[in-house]
Amino acid sequence: MAWQSSSIERSDLERLLHEFEARIARLTRSAARARADAPRAVEGVGDVIASALNDLADRVRGRSRHLGAEVSQFGDDALRFGNDAVRKLTREAEQRPLVTLAVAVGVGALIVGLLVRRG
């Protein structure tokens, strides 16, 4: 072969071969380190995900407490409104019993009419 006769070409090839072997050795060491570090990296990712989920759960809990307070306030307001309406209706029934009876009969007739129409 022609390259064996030239010492310059042979030394270049030997140098390239040594560089290639050194690179392969570095890559092998890097791959081994990566395999060794992989479980710790996975644990770290798990910790990050768990932390993010905990933060999200805390936010949802806080919002649900706030929403629960709003719903409770809405229920209290509805109860107060209903009580006021019943008191007013009771007062009207005591002051004007015939008018109240006539209104009740009229509402009843409307309901019966709607039911008959459907059936």
pLDDT class for 1, splitting at 50, 70, 90?
Answer: very low
- Output the six-digit token pair for 62: 């806080």
Sequence spans of domains, the chain: 2-118
Higher pLDDT, 110 or 15: 110
97: Cβ–Cβ under 8 A, 6 or more apart, which residues? none
Give the pLDDT confidence of 25-60 residue by residue, as tens digits.
888 888 777 777 767 666 667 777 778 888 888 887
Give the pLDDT confidence of 2-22 residue by residue, as tens digits.
445 555 677 777 888 888 888
Residue 96, φ and ψ in degrees, nearest 5: -135, 75
89: Cβ–Cβ under 8 A, 6 or more apart, which residues? 100
Q: Considering the entire predicted model, what is its pTM?
A: 0.40
